């Protein structure tokens, strides 16, 4: 049995119509990243941040999983492999493609979090600044997303899976954001084979043993086949 850790990023959902972060038409051209993806940005202007994520949630709900999500779901249900599927994405396209378990290290558009008491609950499609936390009753509701300066989720589990793996595959991520950008170095340190599947060379492309460049809907099903 091959133990595979797969990390996905925004590029895998690009052909489902969801915008990536750092492309020429990336999200941050419309919104300054520090205005929407930091706790300080939320404190400054919660209405702008909730509106930004309401739009992202609506786009994700309207999108459909593509051939790359489906190929990974097939791989993850193939008994010849033990797949740990880790995503930086906050959409649910891996789950809707049929992946049995997905580790969302940057949280989810479909979760809500109280900025005051840290209570979590399913997010409504439209979050408003007047929404009250169901636990503490304060109007401090935010999306359950990991912003800059916050600790990504499930790090111990991901690091343990990387230590046990035979192969690490990075798909559709630019390699700009840590700690995910450091997984390839962790894998190399553990002596694990590494593979990059991305539209173009990522920032850390040279650290991978092998790289295949092209659109995810072509290169991911080809790799899985």
Catalytic annotation, residues = 106
Cβ proximity to ligand BJW: between 21 and 223 the closer is 21
182 assigned ligand-binding residue: no
Closest-CA residue to 151 (of 5, 29, 39): 39
Write the burial class of residue 187 (CB in 10 Å: 0-12 exposed, 13-18 middle, 19+ buried).
buried
CA angle 56, 60, 63 (to 5 degrees): 140
Q: Shortest distance, CB of residue 162 to ligand BJW, whole angstroms?
A: 13
The residue ranges that bind ligand BJW (CB under 6 A) are 9-11, 14-15, 20-23, 26, 37, 88, 90, 106, 145-152, 155, 172-174, 176-179, 198-200, 202, 215-216
Q: Shortest distance, CB of residue 79 to ligand BJW, whole angstroms?
A: 28
What is the C-alpha separation between 168 and 186, in angstroms, rounded?
Answer: 10
Which position's Cβ is nearest ligand BJW?
Answer: 11
> How far is the CA of 25 from the CAs of 12, 116, 202, in angstroms?
16, 34, 17
12 assigned ligand-binding residue: yes
6 assigned ligand-binding residue: no
200 assigned ligand-binding residue: yes
Closest-CA residue to 111 (of 150, 157, 60, 161): 60
Binding site, annotated residues: 9-28, 53, 56, 88-91, 114, 117, 133, 136, 172-174, 198-200, 216
């Amino acid at each position: 049995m091959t133990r595979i850790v797969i990390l996905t990023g925004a590029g895998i959902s690009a052909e489902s119509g969801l915008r990536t972060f750092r492309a020429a038409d990336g999200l941050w051209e419309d919104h300054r990243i520090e205005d929407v993806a930091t706790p300080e940005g939320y404190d400054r202007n919660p209405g702008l941040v909730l509106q930004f994520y309401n739009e992202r949630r609506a786009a994700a709900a309207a999108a459909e999983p593509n051939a790359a999500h489906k190929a990974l779901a097939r791989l993850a249900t193939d008994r010849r492999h033990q797949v740990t599927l880790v995503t930086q994405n906050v959409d649910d396209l891996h789950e809707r493609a049929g992946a049995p378990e997905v580790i969302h290290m940057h949280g989810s558009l479909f979760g809500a979090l109280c900025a005051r008491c840290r209570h979590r609950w399913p997010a409504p499609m439209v979050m408003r600044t007047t929404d009250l936390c169901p636990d503490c009753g304060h109007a401090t509701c935010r999306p359950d997303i990991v912003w800059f300066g916050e600790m990504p989720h499930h790090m111990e589990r991901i690091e343990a899976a990387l230590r046990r793996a035979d192969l690490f595959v990075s798909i559709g991520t630019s390699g700009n954001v840590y700690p995910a950008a450091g997984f390839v170095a962790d894998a190399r340190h553990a002596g694990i084979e590494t593979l990059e599947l991305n539209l173009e060379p990522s920032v850390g492309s040279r650290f991978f043993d092998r790289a295949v460049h092209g659109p995810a809907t072509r290169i991911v099903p080809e790799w899985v086949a």
